[in-house]
Chain A
Amino acid sequence: KAGVTQTPRYLIKTRGQQVTLSCSPISGHRSVSWYQQTPGQGLQFLFEYFSETQRNKGNFPGRFSGRQFSNSRSEMNVSTLELGDSALYLCASSLEASGAVGYEFFGPGTRLTVL
């Protein structure tokens, strides 16, 4: 069974640009979460999607947005990039039925560098 895949793996952008990252969950998983990982802050929750609906959202500015498609694939977008957005962006999927807690399986991440 294929794991969580993320594309691209590496990305270099300049300040002010926007970026879109993609995540394909494990087949059958309907919940997709996004995290930002930096050395100083660790893993910080961005948002979670379940059945194409945003179910939870972390404390990030509106420049960070996401969506989920009917096949559970998800994208996140960051507009007007800032230097501080440089980070590893991780996607995780889980097999979570309504109200149940599922394990989160992580992808390898997209390393975003903002110059």
Chain B
Amino acid sequence: GESVGLHLPTLSVQEGDNSIINCAYSNSASDYFIWYKQESGKGPQFIIDIRSNMDKRQGQRVTVLLNKTVKHLSLQIAATQPGDSAVYFCAEISRSTGNQFYFGTGTSLTVIP
């Protein structure tokens, strides 16, 4: 079955620095990837998505990169702020599994003021 994993369970960065959170996936047939942010006591919140036919997508202060060759996904956060402290998940979705979402265990990002 599919597996979505994260390289690092925790990440600490200085406020103002850029953050990079990584994610590996195993299903080469996945057509859609999403990054979520989960703050303490809340449910996951959509950040940005990318389709499998894209390599890069930018949002406000965030960029997602997709490398299908090595089945790797990354989330870059520019000028990290204390409010960015949270757990970040990647999710992959495959039409072959009926659009089921598969999530990694998450990376905990701590921003040091």
Contact = CB atoms under 8 A, between A and B. Distances in A.
Contacts of A96: 99
A42 interface: yes
Contact of A103 (B46, B105, B106): B46
A48 interface: yes
Contact of B31 (A56, A101, A109): A101
A106 B45 contact: yes
B64 interface: no
A101 B100 contact: no
Contact of B100 (A4, A41, A56): A56
The residue in B32, B49, B99 that gathers the most chain A C-beta atoms within 10 A of its C-beta is B99
A108 B38 CA distance: 10
A105 interface: yes
B41 interface: yes
Contact of B104 (A42, A45, A103, A108): A42
Contact of B101 (A41, A45, A108, A109): A45
B105 A106 contact: no
B43 A101 contact: no
B103 A43 contact: yes
B89 interface: yes
A112 to B, nearest CB: 15
Interface of B: 31-32, 34, 36, 41-46, 49, 89, 93, 95, 97-106
Interface of A: 4, 33, 35, 40-43, 45, 48, 55-56, 90, 92, 96, 99, 101, 103-109
Given A101-B95, A103-B49, A109-B42, 9 more contacts: A35-B103, A43-B103, A92-B43, A101-B31, A101-B32, A103-B34, A103-B46, A106-B44, A108-B42
